[in-house]
Structure formats: C-alpha cells, structure tokens
Amino acid sequence: MSALEAVASAPESRISQSLASENPYRSRRTFAIISHPDAGKTTLTERLLSAAGAIQKAGQVRGKASARSTRSDWMEMEQQRGISVASSVMTFDYQGLTFNLLDTPGHSDFSEDTYRVLTAVDAAIMVIDAAKGIESQTLKLFEVCRLRDIPIITFINKIDREGREPLDLFDEIADKLALDLTPALWPIGQGVDYKGYLDLVEKRVVGPTGAPGAEWDDIEDLLEHEELIADPVFVNALDTLELARSALPKFDLEDFQAGHLTPVLFGSALKGFGVAELLQALGEWAPEPRPQPAEPAPISPDEPKVSGFVFKVQANMDANHRDRIAFVRLSSGKFTRGMKLRNVRTGKDLAVTSPMFFFGHDRELAEEAVAGDIVGIPNHGTLSVGDTLTEGSAIKVTGIPNFAPEIIRRVRLTDAIKAKQLAKALNDLSEEGVAQVFRRMIGADYLVGVVGALQLDVLGARVEKEYNVPIGFESVGLEVVRWVESDEPDEMKRFIAAQKSHMAEDRNGDPVFMAQNAWWAQRAQDDYPKIRFLATKERR
Ligand code: GDP
C-alpha cells in the first residue's frame, strides 16, 4: 500500500462542519512544525498536504521552491546554500477546516524569524527523530512555544527505521522539556519489525500497511485476539504501552490547549504512517484562533473590527520590484481587500489594495481574510516587525519579542565617509528585524546581534547592495546578551557604572549587558540579585 492509500484510510471525521458557518474564523487552524534539521519536517509537510488533498503528488513542496526563477541576489545566496530563509505559508482545507501552516526555516543557521513565526500560530507539531530524541533546535523552538503556552502535538518520526525504545523517548521528552506526555499512537515494533500501531484515539489496531484491524473498548480486550498475542513484537508493544499508560496522564483537551500536555504519535512521514491521524488530531484538538495578547486589553477574535500584527518582513521577494512583504496575522474582524488600516506605531493609514495569500512560493490576491489567517502586505518600509494594524483603534499587540542574540559582531566600516549611510542602513534593517543593532556605552561602535550566522551574511549583503556601504564583521569576544532591568534605579546605576565596558543600548535605548560567556553572565547575576537579566524583550 502506498503512503497515499494509507492516508486515505483515515478514520471518519468527527470534526464539526457547522463551526464555520457563523464565525468563519472558528474553522481556522493556524500552526507551525518545529523540529531539528533532518528530523523530517519537509517530508511531513508534503504528507500533510497530500493527506489533505492540497497537492496531488507528494514532493511538490520542495520542487516548487527550487524551480523558482525570479530571485534577488541574497535569495540566490540562500539558494546556493540549499536553504530557504523565507518562511512561507501553506493554506489547505480539510474536512471543513482551513489550516494555515506557517513554515519555519529548517536549517540550523536559522534566524529570529524562525522564533517570531511562532508568535503567529495557535498550535505546533513537534517532530522528533525516533533515533535521535530531543535535539538542540527542537529544544530552543519548544522554549519559544512555552513562552506563549502554545499547545503541541508530538510526532515521533521514522519508526520505519530502527530507533530508540518508545519508553526511553518518553522519558527523555518529559525530562528535557518538563512537559506531560500521553500516548496517542503507539508503535508495534520498529524498523524491520514494524507491524503497525495501536491507535488510542480510535481504539483500534492498524496494520503495517495502514489497514485497520482489531478494535477494543478496553485495551485488555486485545488479549483475546490470539493471532495478535502470538506475536512477541505485539505483546512487547502492549506491555510497554501499559507501562506508559500506568505512569502517564490521560489525554485532556484543556491541559493540551493550555500547553501543559502533549499527545504523542509515533509514525513515519516517509511512509505515511500516522499522518492521517496527525491531521485528524490537529483538526480536532488544536485550538481555533485564540485571543491576542494586547494593550490595553487582549483582542478577542470575535471583535468585529479588523486587527492584526506584523510578525515577519520579507524583503526582495521579487527582484524586479524591490518590494517588501509584511506578513500579518489577523487577530480579529473580517478583512476585505482595499480596506484602510492604521499602523498604530506611526499613526498612519494604509490602503491595503494588494494583500496576498501565499502557497509556498506562489501567491494570489487575498479578497477576504479572518482571524487566524496570514496576509502578505507589500509596502516600501512603512511596516515593521511588531507593528499592530487596526481599523483606527489604538490597540497595541504584545508578545512579539526580540530574542537575545547568540552571535555578536562589531560592524567594520571600510569607507569612513559612509558612516551616516551605515547608521541609516542598520536602523532600517533592524526595524525590519534582519538583525538587532546595539550601541556600546563606551565608544561609538555599532554591534550587531543575530541568532544565526546566516543572518549576518544576509545583513552584510543587503547593506552593501541596497545602501552601497561595504561592511565587514569582527568578533568582540562577547557571547551572552541580556537585557537588564531593576525595580531599584540606584542599583541599576551601580550595575551600569561597574559594568560599563560590557554595556550597550538597543535601538530603543534600553540597556543591555554583554558577557564573555555563560560563566561571566551567571557571575553577574549572582553578584547583582536585584537586577533582572532577560533573554527576551517585548518589541517596540
Ligand atoms: P527536514 O530537514 O526536517 O525538513 O527533514 P527532511 O524532511 O528533509 O528529511 C530528512 C531526511 O530524512 C530525508 O532524507 C528524508 O527522506 C528522511 N526521512 C524523513 N522522514 C522519514 C521517515 O519517516 N522515515 C525514514 N526512514 N526517513 C525519513
């Protein structure tokens, strides 16, 4: 049986079709996939899209990206490296629901964009390689999800190959992520021994080809199936599942939606095992668009007036137009093309005449959109990451953070006459979110901070190309960056005075402490207990 046939034997839908008729936003499921490179995110994306019928043939996602011809120079640079910095959106309908899958760049050289995409989703799928368990990037992305209590469905991938023991993986996930787990699909063997899985949601056994087999009310009923218990692989699967179940909580929708409990599905993106069930789980359990944290009050998706926020700006998507697309996640109201929206930060109105929906690298005009949807708005620099758009009300969306950079470099200007141009370039590009820019308190050096080395290359290439200022980057021996604040102004003054050579200001003028390494950062924290050291800062 092919993967697609396996997908076609999905359980009957129990998703209500009537949700959407009154409040279209209630049918939206906006999510991302988080994983470490090579865990199988691309393969799973293709499978999900084909399971939903969004593409005819699995393999198109990657094919489309590489076939794209109009690319600007720095997009070419990404292409040469075989990676994509562009987080795009894939929208597909399935069983009366509209899924918006926000892509997060999968390369290890990822950027703050990757993090910020997670501020625009209501749920995430965490893909883990069954042979590798939790890897560094999964952990980082998970931590960002936790900041917002984003509910997570865990997919342990590649069970068609030899991997680690399920119980061992459960222990590791629970331990490293401090998260409650509950099994939803449990594998019967792995690799060459793979015999299918136990589907705890539908209470059925699914065979190695995806064909449904024995069903149960109580899992012990399975002991009566002689043909099953004659197989030691099956008996072992049942035993370990029982061990897991006795130690773990049952699935609870509220706990899941609050981000405390993750249902775990074992499967194979490559072979299509468990993919239909994953899609089903997402449709049934993942929350509809949630209220958006904002000042003075959270924005309910029921609010009739349109509001949304920019979570990403992508420049140079079209080489011929030098355009910038601001990706806006709608938080409320019904948006229609041509509408005027106010950028709350600048107070200026913007007629949104050519909003776009994206499908991978393709785009189409967005005539209408509701809360949960992602709309691309072309602009020439009026929209920045973190901006709130409304029909006029002075609300400010919150929860769009800057993340402490992990790489700090001094900007070296090769042509001193261009200092002014450099200042403008760095200011523009930091507003766009390409990199963070800091000014040292001693000396006038610009420091740039990024979370992935690729961001530096992009920054350098764009400053040179768009502002005609050639620059280089130099190491400054600083590795850990923390915003600092305190309720006691005198203590803050004392700290800054003592640490002046390690202090800088960010683009808002907020103080930032930079340490040589984690040990020194910890030492400063120990020495100054009244100072708070923050790894994220609300974007203003
Ligand atoms: P990404 O970097 O997370 O997007 O990972 P990819 O989807 O590109 O997958 C990385 C590699 O793992 C590719 O060679 C895939 O064919 C392979 N892969 C993905 N899913 C599975 C799976 O379920 N089983 C096996 N055996 N290989 C897989």
- pLDDT tens string 345-380: 999 999 999 998 876 566 788 899 999 999 999 888
Q: Does 145 map to a domain?
A: yes
Domain enclosing residue 420, as ranges: 401-538
Cβ atoms of residues 364 and 518 within 8 Å: no
Q: What is the mean pLDDT of residues 456-476?
A: 91
Residue ending a domain, among 258, 285, 312, is 285
Which single residue is written with the structure tokens 């989703």?
A: 121
Pairing of strands 28-35, 123-129: parallel
Are residues 384 and 448 located together in one domain of the fold? no
Q: Residue 344: name the closest of 393, 399, 402, 398 by CA.
A: 393
What spacing in Å lies between the alpha carbon of 202 and ligand 1's midpoint? 27
pLDDT in the model for residue 321:
55
* Cis previous bond, 293, omega within 30: no
Atom of ligand 1 nearest to the CA of 44: 7
Q: Does 218 map to a domain?
A: yes
CATH of the domain at 408: 3.30.70.3280
Cβ atoms of residues 156 and 164 within 8 Å: no
In this predicted structure, the answer to whether residue 235 has a pLDDT above a threshold of 90 is: yes
Cβ atoms of residues 408 and 474 within 8 Å: no
What spacing in Å lies between the alpha carbon of 39 and ligand 1's midpoint? 6
Strand order in the sheet with 356-359: 348-351, 340-343, 388-390, 307-315, 324-332, 374-379, 356-359, 362-365
Is 103 annotated among the ligand-binding residues?
Answer: yes
Is 36 annotated among the ligand-binding residues?
Answer: yes
Are residues 418 and 495 located together in one domain of the fold? yes
Q: Kindly report the average pLDDT of the chain as a whole number.
A: 86
Are residues 262 and 322 located together in one domain of the fold? no
Choosing from 270, 275, 278 the residue with most ligand 1 atoms within 8 A of its CB, the one to mutate for a pocket test is 270
Task: Give the burial class of 339: count Cβ atoms within 10 A of its Cβ; 0-12 exposed, 13-18 middle, 19 or more buried.
Answer: middle
Decide: 41 in ligand 1 pocket, CB within 6 A: yes
Decide: 39 in ligand 1 pocket, CB within 6 A: yes
Decide: 270 in ligand 1 pocket, CB within 6 A: yes
Alpha-carbon distance of 262 to 90, in angstroms, equals 24
Structure-token pair, residue 374: 């992602």
The amino acid sitting at 283 is: G
Identify the residue with better confidence: 509 or 357.
509
Give how far Cα 13 sits from Cα of 9, 95, 282, 442, Å.
11, 7, 12, 63
What spacing in Å lies between the alpha carbon of 128 and ligand 1's midpoint? 11
Cβ neighbours around 265 below 10 Å, total: 27
pLDDT in the model for residue 82:
37
Q: Does 24 map to a domain?
A: no
Q: Residue 130: name the closest of 95, 164, 101, 154 by CA.
A: 164
Alpha-carbon distance of 282 to 52, in angstroms, equals 12
Give how far Cα 452 sits from Cα of 317, 459, 512, Å.
21, 11, 19
Q: What is the mean pLDDT of residues 192-203?
A: 96
- pLDDT tens string 49-85: 888 876 544 334 433 333 332 233 344 544 444 334 3
Is 104 annotated among the ligand-binding residues?
Answer: yes
- pLDDT tens string 239-276: 999 999 999 999 999 999 999 999 999 999 999 999 99
Atom of ligand 1 nearest to the CA of 36: 3
DSSP, res 114: H
Are residues 499 and 523 located together in one domain of the fold? yes
Are residues 328 and 342 located together in one domain of the fold? yes
pLDDT in the model for residue 2:
39
Are residues 455 and 406 located together in one domain of the fold? yes
Q: Which residue, by CA, sits nearest to atom 24 of ligand 1?
A: 158
Out of 8-17, 154-163, 249-258, least confident range: 8-17
Q: Does 339 map to a domain?
A: yes
Q: Does 66 map to a domain?
A: yes
pLDDT in the model for residue 51:
85
Cβ atoms of residues 65 and 84 within 8 Å: yes
Give how far Cα 494 sits from Cα of 143, 489, 490, Å.
32, 9, 6
Categorize the per-residue pLDDT at 322 as very low, low, confident or very high, splitting at 50, 70 and 90: low
CATH of the domain at 240: 3.40.50.300
Tell me how far the alpha carbon of residue 171 is from its chain's centroid: 24
Q: Does 90 map to a domain?
A: no
pLDDT in the model for residue 313:
85
Kind plus residue range of the DSSP H or E element containing 141: helix 136-147
For the chain, first and last CA: distance in Å?
53
pLDDT in the model for residue 360:
59
Cβ atoms of residues 265 and 281 within 8 Å: yes
Answer left, alpha or beta for residue 26, where phi above 0 means left and psi between -120 and 50 means alpha.
alpha
pLDDT in the model for residue 198:
97
Decide: 158 in ligand 1 pocket, CB within 6 A: yes
Categorize the per-residue pLDDT at 87 as very low, low, confident or very high, splitting at 50, 70 and 90: very low
Are residues 158 and 277 located together in one domain of the fold? yes
pLDDT in the model for residue 109:
57
Q: Does 99 map to a domain?
A: no
User: What residues have CB less than 8 Å from 421, skipping those under 6 apart?
Assistant: 467, 468, 469
Q: Does 9 map to a domain?
A: yes
Q: What percent of the chain has pLDDT over 90?
A: 66
Residue ending a domain, among 379, 397, 415, is 397
Q: Which residue, by CA, sits nearest to atom 25 of ligand 1?
A: 158
Cβ atoms of residues 490 and 452 within 8 Å: no
Categorize the per-residue pLDDT at 317 as very low, low, confident or very high, splitting at 50, 70 and 90: low
In this predicted structure, the answer to whether residue 524 has a pLDDT above a threshold of 70 is: yes
Are residues 182 and 39 located together in one domain of the fold? yes
Kind plus residue range of the DSSP H or E element containing 90: strand 89-94
Cβ atoms of residues 511 and 503 within 8 Å: yes
User: What residues have CB less than 8 Å from 438, skipping those under 6 apart?
Assistant: 408, 446, 447, 448, 449, 504, 505, 506, 507, 512, 514
- pLDDT tens string 411-434: 999 888 899 999 999 998 888 888
Number of compact structural domains in the chain: 3
Atom of ligand 1 nearest to the CA of 39: 3
User: What residues have CB less than 8 Å from 370, skipping those under 6 apart?
Assistant: 24, 25, 28, 330, 333, 334, 335
Are residues 333 and 480 located together in one domain of the fold? no
User: What residues have CB less than 8 Å from 420, skipping those under 6 apart?
Assistant: none
pLDDT in the model for residue 452:
82
What spacing in Å lies between the alpha carbon of 86 and ligand 1's midpoint? 20
What spacing in Å lies between the alpha carbon of 268 and ligand 1's midpoint? 9
Q: What percent of the chain has pLDDT over 70?
A: 86
Are residues 251 and 332 located together in one domain of the fold? no
Output the CA torsion sign for 138, 143, 146, 150. Answer: negative
pLDDT in the model for residue 454:
81
Is 526 annotated among the ligand-binding residues?
Answer: no
Alpha-carbon distance of 455 to 461, in angstroms, equals 10
Residue ending a domain, among 240, 260, 285, is 285
The helix/strand/coil state of 59 is coil
Out of 14-23, 165-174, 312-321, 392-401, least confident range: 14-23
Structure-token pair, residue 25: 């936003």
Are residues 306 and 236 located together in one domain of the fold? no
Decide: 40 in ligand 1 pocket, CB within 6 A: yes
Are residues 160 and 261 located together in one domain of the fold? yes
Q: Which residue, by CA, sits nearest to atom 17 of ligand 1?
A: 40
